[in-house]
Amino acid sequence: MKRFEVVQADSVEDCLRALAAHGREAKLLAGGTDLLPQLKNGMLAPRYMVDLSRVTRLRTLDVHDGLRVGAAVTARELELNQAVQTRYPALAESGALVGSVQVRNLATVGGNLCNAAPSADMAPPLLALEAEAVIAGPRGERRVPLSAFFADVRRTVLAPDELLLELVIPAPAPRSGGRYLRHTPRRELDIAVVGVASQLSLSDGICARARIALAAVAPIPLRATAAEQALEGRPLTAELIEEAAGLAAEAARPISDQRGSAEFRRHLVRVLTRRTLTSALARARS
Ligand SMILES: Cc1cc2nc3c(=O)[nH]c(=O)nc-3n(C[C@H](O)[C@H](O)[C@H](O)COP(=O)(O)OP(=O)(O)OC[C@H]3O[C@@H](n4cnc5c(N)ncnc54)[C@H](O)[C@@H]3O)c2cc1C
């Protein structure tokens, strides 16, 4: 590993100053669970690491009307927060699936999204919850819907002089339910071969809104919009859920690799979409 200098940031302004001064030679360091392996295997060799751990603005976890999740909130905090468990269960479930307890105590939501792996577990529930990314840069703050945040494998719309501040999530409508499930060959310490989040809300027994998001089946985490549209405005029968699961499988653009063939992944999207929709429906009704 090449030597680097650590810049200790105490505020968002410190981070922005360091990024402006060191440009592409600097990397932001949150929990380091993605970054340090990348340094060790030589994928990256930054000259400066800007440590975010003392930037309190990034640690907000505020459940009021909606939810604000600071970029440096950890997977473990999402997993254990009771308000998140109750109001945004799919997000708490995704936090609970990341790595081991030791990894979850370090792994942040900002790091998970900014690392932009197609398999990032926290991306699908946040997409299904219609989160907006709040981004800080030298020209002030801007907001980007999370559906427009991922540009390609390991690439986001963040400029080199910008950082992710927080995710803003609207309050769930009454009679809403969500679920996140993933498939991994091992029960723990494995990355998703496929991940699916579903979020539903009901009105008079009809599906008022449906959101379905998929991970590990395309270069970026993505929404299955045709499947969502098939559900909205209709009563959620088992047949309709099966139809939507088929449409979600069609939306997937998986590759074949050593972890699973494209055909297997498409099959998993169908199965996990059916399961997450059925479970989200039961939660919305309870
Ligand atoms: C053993 C192990 C198991 C794992 N299991 C899983 C798993 O099950 N599911 C899963 O999804 N991931 C898993 N991961 C990957 C990793 O833990 C997560 O992606 C984690 O959320 C990354 O967060 P971090 O804070 O450690 O990010 P870091 O490693 O600190 O940063 C990751 C990237 O994001 C950038 N970054 C961080 N914060 C910001 C910010 N605020 N603004 C802009 N850029 C920023 C960094 O510069 C870097 O490029 C695992 C990793 C390990 C080592």
Give 182's DSSP letter.
E
- Residue 104's contacts (CB-CB under 8 Å, 6 or more residues apart) are 74, 75, 76, 79, 95, 96, 98
- Is the four-CA dihedral 263, 266, 268, 270 of positive or negative sign? negative
Q: Residue 127 above 80 pLDDT?
A: yes
Given a cut of 80, is residue 22 above it in pLDDT? yes
pLDDT at position 138 is: 95
Q: Residue 135: left (phi > 0), alpha (psi -120 to 50), or beta?
A: beta
Q: What is the pLDDT of residue 223?
A: 98
* pLDDT tens, residue by residue, 179-200: 999 999 887 788 899 999 999 9
Q: Flag whether pLDDT at 2 surpasses 90.
A: no
Assigned token pair, 200: 């539903």
Across residues 56-83, what is the average pLDDT? 97
Quote the pLDDT of residue 185.
86
Q: In angstroms, what is the span from residue 207 Cα to ligand 1's centroid?
A: 35
pLDDT value at residue 124? 98
**Residue of the CA atom closest to atom 37 of ligand 1:** 111
β-strand 26-29 against 48-51: which pairing, if any? parallel
207 is written with which tokens?
A: 């599906």
Q: Which residue has the tokens 């970026």?
A: 220
- What residue's CA is closest to ligand 1, atom 38? 111
pLDDT band at 98 (very low <50, low <70, confident <90, very high): very high
DSSP state of 190: -
**Better pLDDT: 152 or 64:** 152
Instruction: Give kind and range of the element (H or E) at residue 150.
Output: strand 150-152
Helix (H) or strand (E) holding 214: strand 206-215
pLDDT tens digits along 7-20 = 999 999 999 999 99
Burial 204-222 (b: 16+ CB within 10 A, else e): eeebbbbbbbbbbbbebbb
- The ligand 1 site (C-beta within 6 Å) comprises 27-35, 37, 71, 75, 97-99, 103, 106-108, 110-112, 114-115, 120-121, 158, 163-164, 189, 191
Q: Is the confidence at residue 148, as pLDDT, over 90?
A: yes
**pLDDT tens digits, one per residue of 205-261:** 899 999 999 999 999 999 999 999 999 999 999 999 999 999 999 999 999 998 899
- The CA 64 to ligand 1 mean position distance, Å, reads 27
Determine the Cα–Cα distance for residues 168 and 146; give it in Å rounded to an integer: 10
Q: What is the pLDDT of residue 189?
A: 80
